[in-house]
Amino acid sequence: FVLSLDDEEFQAILKDAGNKLVVVDFTATWCGPCQRIAPAFAADSSNANVIFLKVDVDDAQDVSSHCGIRSMPTFQFYKNNQKVHEFSGADAAKLKAKVKKP
C-alpha cells in the first residue's frame, strides 16, 4: 500500500518506530523502475521486525522534499528516528541486503 501523509505524520511514524528499522520506498505511479521493484519490496515487507512504508512523491510532496528525494525509486532506511542508509535505483538485491543488515 502507498501512504499519502504529510511531513508531520511521517516524522511521527519514524519516532514511534523506536529502534525498529523503517524502510521507506519513495515511488511514483508513472515510474517504470518503481513498478519493477514493487514485488521485491512487497516480498521483503513480510519481515515483522521492520516497518515498510511506500510514499508516493506526487501525493506527499512535502515529505519527499523534506527527505531530499531527487529520483525514484529511492529507498531510505531509518533507525531511532535517524537516517542510517539511502540508495536510489531498482536494485532488489541491494534492498534485500539492506533490510537484512542496514
**Could you tell me if residue 80 is inside a domain?**
yes
Task: Read off the C-alpha cell for 80.
Answer: 531511532
What does DSSP say about strands 74-79 and 50-56: parallel, antiparallel, or unpaired? unpaired
Q: What is the pLDDT of residue 47?
A: 85
**Could you tell me if residue 1 is inside a domain?**
no
| Alpha-helical regions (H) of 4-58 | 7-16, 32-44
Rounded mean pLDDT, 53-77: 94
**Could you tell me if residue 66 is inside a domain?**
yes
Separation between Cα atoms, residue 90 and residue 36, nearest integer Å: 7
pTM of the prediction? Answer: 0.92
Q: What is the pLDDT confidence band of residue 78, given thresholds at 50, 70 and 90?
A: very high
Considering only 4-8, 37-41, 54-58, 65-69, which range has the smallest mean pLDDT? 4-8
> Catalytic residue positions?
31, 34
**Could you tell me if residue 2 is inside a domain?**
no
Contacts of 67 (CB under 8 A, 6+ apart): 24, 26, 76
Task: Read off the C-alpha cell for 18.
Answer: 523506536
Backbone φ and ψ for 3, nearest 5 degrees, come out as: -90, 140
Q: What is the pLDDT of residue 22?
A: 95
- The Cα diameter of the chain in Å comes to 33
Looking at residue 36, which CATH number applies to its domain?
Answer: 3.40.30.10
Q: How many domains is the chain partitioned into structurally?
A: 1
Rounded mean pLDDT, 54-65: 92
**Could you tell me if residue 89 is inside a domain?**
yes
Q: Which helix (H) or strand (E) holds 63?
A: helix 61-66
Query: Domain range for residue 48?
Result: 7-100
- Encode pLDDT of 38-58 as tens digits: 999 999 888 888 999 999 999
Rounded mean pLDDT, 6-22: 93
